[in-house]
Amino acid sequence: MGHNNLLKTSDLTFIDLVGNSKKYRVPAFQRDYSWEQEQWEDLWNDIEGLTASLDARHYMGAIVVEARSDRDFLIVDGQQRVATLSILALAVISVLQNLGDTEDERARNRDRATRLRERFIGEKDPASLLESSKLVLNANDDAFYQDYLVQLRPPNNPRGMPNSNRLLWECFCWFKERLTQKLPQGGEWFASLLSETVARQLLFILIAVEDELSAYVVFETLNARGLELSSTDLLKNYLFSRVSVPADLTALQRRWKTLVDIVRQERFPDFLRYHLLCESPQIRKQRLFKDVRDQVKTPAQVFALMDAIERRAELFAAINDAEHEYWQENPPAKPYVRELLLFRASQMTPLLFAAYEKLDPADFVRVLKLVSVISFRYTIVGGLNTNALEPVYHRAAKALLTDQISSPAEIFKYLRDIYVEDEKFRRDFEIKEIVTSGQSKRIAKYVLCKLETSATGVPRDYEADTATIEHILPENPSAAWIPYFTEERQKDFTYRLGNLSLLEPALNRQAGNGLLADKLPLYAQSAYEQTRSIAERGLQEWMPASLDERQRKMAQKACHVWRSDFV
């Protein structure tokens, strides 16, 4: 589907947005009102800044709507802004209704309030004389908005209200307090603030989509900061739209909240995609909504999906948290979970779902170790294309779930194509460099600690160990290094693994940018065997050839440290 068919965009003022009897409805189970004082204050400051110049404009960002007719719109994204501006309008109307020192002045201000109410809040039907609100909020907020805010009626017990209702009321009170400070300006100023500044100087990009699928694709395409919804909200809105029985909706809402609290709002689309990848060979993020829509159409299918993903939610959370209580019952799993998080590897998630459900705890740990080794060889050292991983992990997961295989050794046969063989892994490791800053610095220390542990049998935890990373050829070498590494070649060797070693902080400070001969006495004092061995070799000069030789030996060891148990 081309983007031209997905959406229509236009720049509109706020009065364009709400004028001409247009109505906006927030889907019943969309996110509750959540703006707080920080957002109200930012909006108020922007509006106040516009009052100094009629020519000034302020962009409020994109609002995504699904057009049900030329006057009826479903707000897919932007409800927080529209609701807040409506509450500001109500605060202005409330102030105007009682403003004035004389009866004539008060009458004019009441007339202004009536006209503003009709323009921004709602109009009376000429036949029924019933007021029709321009904005309908979600299931949790609309009754309070219509019965209290729209009627300018204070609630009896604000503290006892649900959080979103309380925020709506506090928003109204906050704006009214700001407006009360402007009372000397008079009724005309208040009317102008709403009918000119807010109505005509605030600009929106209105994105009108055809249906829920278009909304999802547009949202994924925009992927912009400031959009208030997420893919999770859009998926939720669709699933809830499939259920109509009130009791079922209540149950679904309760279960949904628990589920999203476990997996986290921002991770839910990934969680759902990995769940579906257990059965389907290819679920692309951009097509996730379409895949769900094609598979889930009835209330029974909604609840069947909920049953299935609820069973995997805690494991998904644990895979993303090495300190999760899950691992208290299976401590050997924790180091491999930490490694996968360090590698930022997630493609193996469907296989881990299957392994947890089908294997005993010990074999589950063996699978964790296997995918960690594969990730290190394939991604960290090999730098290969990770797009090839998901189909392989899918096949292994499905084979395990359908009882075609039943052991870690059989799983390895399915993963053999993504297990980098020793010869290639060794060659890749021999030339590997890792910049020692940011996330990469943690990976560099992890590699050095694993090699040190293998060499000595003394456990070295890359997170807990106090060692620093010593650059034998310094990151900022002095001119004395030029005979050994020309200025042009220094950058090619500084972050090679063969140039890195573990060293105590105090010794590292003493080593500074000195030549190898100056550092050797310090290396000899180190508790780290692989650093002492540099001094024990008797080298007096550090050159490309000696660095290459050291890294070749490290690569040979690495082939044994990061090895599958099933080779």
**DSSP tag of 57:** -
C-alpha to C-alpha distance for 156 and 313, rounded to whole angstroms: 40
Query: Are residues 416 and 445 part of one domain?
Result: no
Q: Which residues contact 119 (CB under 8 A, 6 or more apart)?
A: 15, 18, 19, 195, 199
Q: How far is CA 163 from CA 22, 43, 168, 249, 280, in A?
A: 29, 21, 9, 20, 40
pLDDT of residue 465: 95
**25 lies in some domain:** yes
Nearest to 166 by CA among 327, 307, 254, 36: 36
C-alpha to C-alpha distance for 64 and 220, rounded to whole angstroms: 12
Buried b (16+ CB within 10 A) or exposed e, 79-110: bbbbbbbbbbbbbbbbbbbebbeeeeebebbb
Query: Are residues 58 and 17 part of one domain?
Result: yes
> With contact defined as beta carbons under 8 Å apart, do 406 and 362 qualify?
no
**102 lies in some domain:** yes
Backbone angles phi, psi at 400, to 5 degrees: -70, -45
Query: Are residues 111 and 37 part of one domain?
Result: yes
**309 lies in some domain:** yes
Query: Are residues 445 and 371 part of one domain?
Result: no
State the sign of the Cα–Cα–Cα–Cα dihedral 261, 265, 266, 269.
positive
Strand 58-67 relative to strand 122-124: parallel, antiparallel, unpaired? unpaired
State the sign of the Cα–Cα–Cα–Cα dihedral 15, 16, 18, 19.
positive
Query: Are residues 166 and 19 part of one domain?
Result: yes
**HEC-encoded secondary structure of 347-371:** CCHHHHHHHHHHCCHHHHHHHHHHH
**519 lies in some domain:** yes
Give the number of domains in the chain: 3
Q: Which residues contact 447 (CB under 8 A, 6 or more apart)?
A: 434, 497, 558
State the sign of the Cα–Cα–Cα–Cα dihedral 378, 379, 383, 384.
positive
Q: How far is CA 379 from CA 375, 376, 429, in A?
A: 5, 6, 12
DSSP class per residue in 260-308: HHHH-GGGHHHHHHHHHHTT-S---GGGHHHHHHHH--SHHHHHHHHHH
How many residues comprise the chain?
Answer: 567
pLDDT of residue 98: 86
Query: Are residues 464 and 361 part of one domain?
Result: no
**567 lies in some domain:** no
Q: Final residue of a domain: which of 386, 406, 421?
A: 421
Q: Please report, in tens digits, the pLDDT of each residue of the chain (567 residues total).
A: 344 444 455 678 999 888 878 899 998 778 889 999 999 999 999 999 898 888 888 888 778 888 888 888 888 888 999 999 999 999 999 999 989 889 999 999 999 999 999 999 987 666 655 668 899 999 899 999 999 999 999 998 888 899 999 999 999 999 999 999 988 888 999 999 999 999 999 988 787 876 665 555 555 555 443 334 567 777 887 888 888 888 888 898 889 989 999 999 888 989 999 999 998 878 777 678 778 888 898 999 999 999 999 999 999 999 999 999 999 999 999 999 999 999 999 999 999 999 999 999 999 999 999 999 999 999 999 999 998 999 999 999 999 999 999 999 999 999 999 999 999 999 999 999 999 999 899 999 999 999 999 999 999 999 999 999 999 999 999 999 999 999 888 999 999 999 999 999 999 999 999 999 999 999 999 999 999 999 998 888 999 999 999 999 999 999 999 999 998
Query: Are residues 281 and 404 part of one domain?
Result: yes
**20 lies in some domain:** yes
C-alpha to C-alpha distance for 23 and 17, rounded to whole angstroms: 9
Q: Final residue of a domain: which of 183, 202, 222?
A: 222
**463 lies in some domain:** yes
* Residue 414: strand, helix, or coil: helix
C-alpha to C-alpha distance for 81 and 560, rounded to whole angstroms: 58
Query: Are residues 144 and 125 part of one domain?
Result: yes
> CA neighbours within 13 Å on the CB side: how many for 74?
17
pLDDT of residue 226: 39
Query: Are residues 276 and 204 part of one domain?
Result: no
Query: Are residues 147 and 73 part of one domain?
Result: yes
Q: Final residue of a domain: which of 391, 421, 451?
A: 421
Range of the domain at 547: 428-561
Q: What is the pTM of this model?
A: 0.71
**117 lies in some domain:** yes
Nearest to 99 by CA among 193, 198, 169: 193
Bridge partners (DSSP) of residue 24 are 73, 135
Query: Are residues 110 and 92 part of one domain?
Result: yes
Query: Are residues 198 and 275 part of one domain?
Result: no
Strand 500-503 relative to strand 23-25: parallel, antiparallel, unpaired? unpaired
Tally helices (H) and strands (E) across the chain.
27, 10
- The encoded tokens of residue 386 equal 């990770």
